Structure 1
Amino acid sequence: MGYNPQRKFKARPTDYIVLAIGMLTAAALVVWGFMS
């Protein structure tokens, strides 16, 4: 679980999936907040 700040960040497909889920969840919460 060591984090190396010098390591080049290489995004894997799973990283994009997690990011997409997070953004969709945030958008859904905002829409739900306006609708209710």
Structure 2
Amino acid sequence: MDKQQLASTVNKVLDEMRQRPIPIGISSRHNPFSGG
């Protein structure tokens, strides 16, 4: 997977996360992007 493909995948995931907010407790445990 090249950088362009990775960047588009990350953007898609972030967009989905914005559309479906995740409770802080869950996201901090399971979400590597949360920084927790």
Shorter-chain TM-score bucket reads 0.5 to 0.7
Give the structure with the larger helix fraction: 2
RCO (CA 8 Å, sep 6+): is it higher in 1 or 2?
A: 2
List runs of 5+ in structure 2 lacking aligned partners. 22-36
Q: Which has the greater radius of gyration?
A: 1
TM-score by length of 2: 0.54
How many residue pairs get aligned? The number is: 21
TM-score by length of 1: 0.54
C-alpha RMSD of matched pairs (Å): 0.5
Aligned-pair identity in percent equals 5
List runs of 5+ in structure 1 lacking aligned partners. 1-10, 32-36
